[in-house]
Amino acid sequence: MLDLSKLNENQRKAVTIGDGPVIVVAGAGTGKTKVLTTRIAYLIENNLFSPDSILAITFTNKAANEMKERVNVLVKNTKLSWIGTYHSICLRILKEDIECMNRKNNFGIIDDEDQMSLIKEIYKQFKINKEICTTIKPKKALQLIEMIKFQNIDINNFVEFTGFMKSVHLYTSEEARATKLIYTEYQRKLIINNLLDFNDLLIYTNKLLSINENIRNKWQNRFSYILVDEFQDTNEIQFNILKMLINKKNKNIFVVGDPDQSIYKWRGAYEWIFKDFREEYPEAKLIVLDTNYRSTKNILNGSNKLISNNFDRIKKNLITNNEQGELINYFCAESQEDEGRFITQKIIELIKNGAKYSDIAILYRSNYLSRFCEDSLIINNIPYKIFGGIRFYQRKEIKDLIAYLKLMIGQDEVSLKRIINIPTRGIGETTINKIDDYSVGSGLCFFDCLKLQNQDWNWKQCNKFYQTIINLREQIKNKSVSDVLKTIIETINYDEYLKSLDLEDKIENVNELVNSIKTMESSNELTIESYLDQISLYTDGSEQSILKENFVSLMTVHVAKGLEFPIVFLVGFSNNIFPPAKSLDYQEERKIAYVAMTRARHQLYITCSNGYSYTGSMGPSMFLKEIGYDNMKKIEQEFKSISTADLDWYNSKKQHINFSNMYEEKNINFNIGDVISHIAFGKGVVTNVEKEYLTVAFKAPYGIKILMKNHKSIKRIKN
C-alpha cells in the first residue's frame, strides 16, 4: 500500500488527481521526481491503468532508468515498458510502422561523428569548398540540413527554398546551389544505406502520425495515460508528436516542469510551451508545487526576487520550512585572478570548518570562465573535476598556442609536430614520417630538417613553415609575452583557422589566454621562459590527482541543471558575462541565473570582477540589484592581495602547510649547487642564480623550473 502521508498537500493532490489533462508546475527542489514516480505507482496500484498502457517521457536515459527503479520500489515487480526519451519512444514507433513510409524497419541510426564524416565526404566528392562555395562549412551545412528538415522546406520549390535561404542570411546562388546539393546527397546516402539521423526519428514519427490516421489511432489506443517530465524543455515537433499520441477520449496527459527553469531555447526548447498547452487543453487542472526542500530561506528569497522580474510567467513563490540560513554572500574582486584567489581561500576555509570538497560546486555562464578558477585551485592543490567541458589548459586551441610559444625559445620536437600543420599547410603524416627517418639517419634535429631542399617530402611547404618560425623569432624580440602571443596569432591567422573549422566559439578561449598573460605581466616581470614554467603545473603530468568521490565540481549552469550542492559559488557574475554582452534576451539569462542559485542548499557565494579582458567594461551584473542587496552580505576588506594574504598551502602528500605570506622578508643568498626542497616539485639542484630568480633542476617529471628565490615554497637543505 502506497504511503502518501509524507507528501505535502499539493504533492498529494497531484498524485491522486483524476482523469484529464494536468499541469504540474514544479519549482526547483519541490520533489518533482517524487511526485511523478508516485503518480505512476498510484495509477498501477489502484488498477486505474495497466503498466503497458502508461507512457512516461523523460529527457535523458539516466532519468528514465531512475524513474523505472523508483516505481519498482513503490510497486514491486512492476515492469514499465514505455518509459524513455522522445527519441527512444519514436525509434520504437518507427520500428513497428516505418514501412508505411516506404522505408525498411531494420534501419540504423547515424551518430554525430559519422554525420560529420558523411558531410566531409560529400564536400570532397563535389569539391564544394573550392569550386562551388567557400562560405558554408560542414558544421554549418549540418545545421542547415536540420533546419530544412524541421521546417519541412521543399528544396525543389523555388519560392519556398529561396525564402528559407534568405531567412538564414544566405543570399548568393552559389550558397543556394551548395546547400541544395549537400542536402540532396546527404539524404540520398542515408536512404541507400538505410540510415536515419537523430532528427529523423522525430521528423519521420511526426510525418507518420500526421498523414496516417490508422497508425495514429493505433498509438492513441495503445497509451491510456501519458506523463512528461521536464516539460519546459520540449520543442515544437516533440509537442506535436505528443498531441498526436494523447488518447482523444480521456485526454490523459500529465505534464510536469518549471517554466522558470526553461534554459534550453538555444537548442530548440519551445519558450511558450506551457501557454500553448493551456490553450490546447483549456480544461487542464493546474497544480503548483512551491514548497522547496532543498535551499535555505535566504537563498530562496534572493532567487524568488530575481525571477519575479520576468513577465508573462505562471506565478509562484518558493517557500520552505528549512532554516533561515546565511545571507547570500557577494564579493566583487578587482581582477579575475583576485576572484579566483578569493574562491580558493573560501574553499580552504570551508574545508577547515568541516566541509568536504564534494560539497562544493563552482558554476559559470560559459566554459572559458573556468580558467581563473582552475589556476587558483591548481596552485593550492585543491582537487577538482570539470563536468561537460575540458580543462582550460588542456583545450586544443590553448595547447596549440602554447606549443608555438615554446618554439619561440627552443626546438621542442613534440610542440613542433603538434603545430607543424596548424593551420593546415599541406604537411601531412607521410612527410613527418619521412623527416623523422632522415633526422635519425643524418643526426640533424627535426627542426633543422625543415629547411632542407629537393627532398622526397613536401619540402617547399616545410621550408615555408621553417621560415615562418625564424621570422617570428625576429619579430618578437623585446616584446612582452602577451604581445608575442598576439603576433603569433596574427601571423599564422589562427582566428581565421578556427573560423574555417566552424570553431568561432574557441576564439573566446584564445582571447582569455591573452588576457591571463596580460594579468600576470601587470604584477610580475614575465618572460616566455618564466611564463611557460609557471603554467607547466597546469599543463604537464604533475597536475593534481582527482581524489575519488571527493573533489570540487566545476561546470556551466546548463550542465548543473537538475543537480544540487550544499555550497555553490556562482562566479563571473559581471556585466557582459552574466548576461553576456551579445544577449538581448534578459528573460532567458534571468532563468539561467535562477537555476544556478537554486542549486545551492546551505551556502551561496556570488562573485564578480571589475576587470574581465575583451568583453568590455565590467562591474557587477545588473541582476544583483534584482536579487536585492537586502538578501546579500557583501564581503569587503576580508580578502587581501596575494602578496599579504594569509594563505594555506598543501604539499604533494596533501599535508597542510601554513605560510604567513608567500615570500620571505629577508632575501636568501642561493648559490649554484645548492640543494633545495619545493612543496610541489620535491628536491632539486640550483643550476643558475639571476637577480630574484633561481633555475632549479628537479627529478622527472618536473625537469627545469625557474622560481622566485624568496618564495616560501622553497627551503634550502644544504649549500
* Residues designated as active site: 32-33, 229-230, 261, 599
H/E stretch holding 567: strand 565-570
User: Each residue of 32-63: b (16+ CB within 10 Å) or e?
Assistant: bbbbbbbbbbbbbeeeebebebbbbbbbeeeb
Dihedrals φ, ψ of 17, to 5°? -60, 155
Q: How far is CA 394 from CA 301, 380, 397, 399, 702, in A?
A: 39, 19, 9, 6, 18
- Give the bridge partners for 331, in sequence order: 607
191: nearest Cα among 108, 93, 127, 92: 108
Dihedrals φ, ψ of 330, to 5°? -130, 130
Q: Give me Rg for the CA atoms of the chain.
A: 30
3-state helix, strand, coil in the chain (%, to 5): 50, 15, 35
Pull the grid cell for residue 83: 518509459
The gap from C-alpha 45 to its chain's centroid, in whole angstroms, comes to: 41
Sign of CA dihedral 537, 539, 541, 546: positive
H/E stretch holding 16: helix 9-16
C-beta of residue 338 within 8 angstroms of C-beta of residue 310: no
547 CB-contact burial (10 Å; exposed 0-12 / middle 13-18 / buried 19+)? middle
